[in-house]
Amino acid sequence: MATYEVSRRLVKSPPELWEELDAERLSGALGAVRVETTEPERAIAWEAEGVRGTAVIEPTGWGTKLTLTAEVEEQVADAGTWSRPRREDPPPPAHPDLEQKLEALLDDLGGAHKQPFSR
What is the average per-residue pLDDT within 88-115? 75
User: What CATH fold (topology level) applies to the domain 2-101?
Assistant: TATA-Binding Protein (3.30.310)
Which residues neighbour 108 within 8 Å (Cβ) at sequence distance 6 or greater?
A: 25, 29
pLDDT at 119 over 80: no
Q: What is the pLDDT of residues 46-86, one digit of tens each?
A: 998 889 999 999 998 888 999 999 998 875 555 555 556 66
Which residues neighbour 54 within 8 Å (Cβ) at sequence distance 6 or greater?
A: 38, 43, 44, 45, 46, 67, 68, 69
- Asked whether the whole model's pTM tops 0.85, one would answer no
